[in-house]
């Protein structure tokens, strides 16, 4: 179900990005939220699996509106390290939600049933739409708007592919997010089948959110001083060192239990938290004149890579934590290489 949602999210970005360049940021986000609310309502009243899948796809497509266009809004108003600081807040929320969701979802199911989970989506969607309409000003001036043409979309891909920074950081972001999606696809099996944690799963799962949240807070304090490139490279290098060390330890002892896994996860997700927003901001930095289209292309490329990597990683579970740790190590090597390549002048 996570993969279905992410697929809708990836495709939706190519729709809402160009639309926001043509009609403005605010109405397009409102349209995306409306589609998300429709998908949530369909899921809530679904009486068969096909209808539920349809609702989840619509949710993903609709979520692409605020996810993509909010990044374009930030690029309209900021650049450089200031942009990274603001993007980091929005990206952190996007990453934190699926980590906190299992604990919240289980609580709602125990109290009211699974349909009320989608009711919660509707509640937050309505609040978000209301806040947007009342409080958020438009950030794209009329003179900067662009007509919708298929050629313009192709031009957006061409611009991204011709920019080493935009392409390299987009690919790196896809690898980073792919590792995260792979974690989402396999972590329930690891916690419940490998470590036998039972009902503690959502709460142990939520602990990881603390380290991503801590990294987000920490990054907002240091990015203006150290800069995005230095932070993201150091974070990815640290992730590689931690995963490689834990992998060697696991292979040499084969006795690493839940505590060792949680320690590895704490360090790794702190590093992941430092990477998400900075890599996105670096990819957007050269795309100021096509912010909406640029955010769509960057988001589409990174999401497609993340879906392929994440689903593949999730299928490798063999009853142990080894595939996840080994893949995180390999993906950290690839991600670090892409970051170094993207940063070359």
Mention every residue, 6+ apart, whose C-beta is less than 8 A from residue 34: 62, 129
How far is it, in rounded angstroms, from Cα 51 to Cα 45? Answer: 9
Query: In this structure, are residues 86 and 74 in contact, taking their beta carbons and an 8 Å threshold?
Result: yes
Answer whether residue 78 shows pLDDT above 90.
Answer: no
How far is it, in rounded angstroms, from Cα 41 to Cα 22? Answer: 29
Answer whether residue 283 shows pLDDT above 70.
Answer: yes
Answer whether residue 329 shows pLDDT above 90.
Answer: yes
How far is it, in rounded angstroms, from Cα 222 to Cα 229? Answer: 12
What the block records as the tokens of 333 is: 């090597």
pLDDT of res. 297 = 86
Query: In this structure, are residues 286 and 164 in contact, taking their beta carbons and an 8 Å threshold?
Result: no
Residue ranges and CATH numbers for the domains of the chain are: 2-138+152-342 (1.20.1250.20)
pLDDT of res. 345 = 64
pLDDT band at 285 (very low <50, low <70, confident <90, very high): confident
pLDDT of res. 36 = 95
pLDDT of res. 255 = 64
- CA dihedral for 262, 265, 270, 273, sign (positive or negative): negative
Query: In this structure, are residues 159 and 290 in contact, taking their beta carbons and an 8 Å threshold?
Result: yes
Rounded (5°) CA angle 239-244-247: 125
Kindly state the percentage of the chain with pLDDT values over 70. 93
pLDDT of res. 102 = 67
Tally of CB atoms within 10 A around 59: 27
pLDDT of res. 91 = 64
142-to-26, 31, 72, 146, 147 alpha-carbon distances in Å: 13, 19, 15, 9, 11
What the block records as the tokens of 305 is: 């890579």
Query: In this structure, are residues 285 and 165 in contact, taking their beta carbons and an 8 Å threshold?
Result: yes
pLDDT of res. 142 = 84
254 by Cβ neighbours in 10 Å (0-12 / 13-18 / 19+) ranks as exposed
Who has greater pLDDT, 111 or 82?
A: 111
* Closest by CA position to 67, among listed 37, 92, 39, 102: 92
pLDDT in tens, 119-169: 999 999 999 999 999 999 999 888 888 777 777 778 778 888 889 999 999
How far is it, in rounded angstroms, from Cα 234 to Cα 222? Answer: 13
pTM: 0.81
Query: In this structure, are residues 41 and 122 in contact, taking their beta carbons and an 8 Å threshold?
Result: yes
What the block records as the tokens of 266 is: 């704490």
Residue reference for tokens 């993969």? 3
Q: Which range, of 86-95, 181-190, 247-256, 307-316, averages the lowest pLDDT? A: 86-95
* Closest by CA position to 239, among listed 331, 172, 153: 331
Rounded (5°) CA angle 302-21-16: 50
What the block records as the tokens of 327 is: 């893949």
Answer whether residue 57 shows pLDDT above 70.
Answer: yes
pLDDT of res. 8 = 87
Answer whether residue 21 shows pLDDT above 70.
Answer: yes
Mention every residue, 6+ apart, whose C-beta is less than 8 A from residue 305: 171, 174, 175, 177, 178
């Amino acid at each position: 179900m996570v993969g279905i949602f992410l697929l809708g999210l990836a495709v939706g970005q190519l729709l809402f990005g160009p639309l926001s360049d043509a009609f403005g940021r605010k109405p397009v986000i409102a349209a995306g939220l409306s589609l998300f609310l429709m998908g949530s309502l369909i899921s809530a009243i679904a009486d068969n699996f096909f209808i539920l899948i349809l609702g989840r796809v619509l949710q993903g497509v609709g979520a692409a509106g605020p996810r993509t266009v909010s990044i374009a809004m930030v690029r309209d108003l900021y650049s450089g390290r200031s942009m990274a600081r603001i993007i980091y807040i929005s990206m952190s929320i996007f990453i934190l939600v699926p980590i906190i969701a299992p604990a919240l979802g289980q609580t709602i199911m125990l109290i009211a049933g699974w349909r009320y989970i989608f009711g919660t989506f509707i509640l937050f969607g309505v609040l978000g739409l209301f806040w947007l309409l009342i409080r958020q000003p438009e950030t794209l001036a009329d003179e900067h708007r662009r007509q919708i043409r298929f050629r313009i979309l192709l031009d957006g891909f061409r611009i991204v592919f011709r920019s080493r920074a935009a392409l390299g950081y987009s690919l790196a972001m896809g690898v980073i997010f792919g590792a995260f999606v792979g974690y989402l696809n396999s972590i329930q099996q690891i916690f419940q089948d490998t470590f036998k944690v039972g009902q503690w799963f959502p709460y142990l799962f939520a602990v990881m959110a603390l380290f991503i949240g801590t990294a987000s807070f920490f990054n907002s304090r240091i990015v203006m001083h150290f800069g995005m490139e230095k932070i993201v490279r150091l974070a990815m290098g640290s992730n590689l060192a931690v995963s490689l060390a834990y992998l060697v330890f696991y292979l040499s002892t084969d006795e690493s239990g839940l505590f060792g896994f949680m320690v590895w996860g704490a360090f790794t997700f702190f590093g992941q938290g430092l990477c998400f927003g900075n890599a996105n901001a670096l990819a957007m930095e050269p795309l100021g004149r096509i912010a909406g289209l640029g955010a769509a292309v960057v988001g589409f490329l990174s999401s497609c890579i993340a879906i392929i990597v994440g689903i593949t990683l999730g299928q490798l579970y063999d009853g142990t934590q080894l595939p996840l740790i080994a893949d995180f190590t390999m993906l950290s090597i690839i991600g670090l290489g892409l970051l170094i390549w993207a940063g070359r002048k």
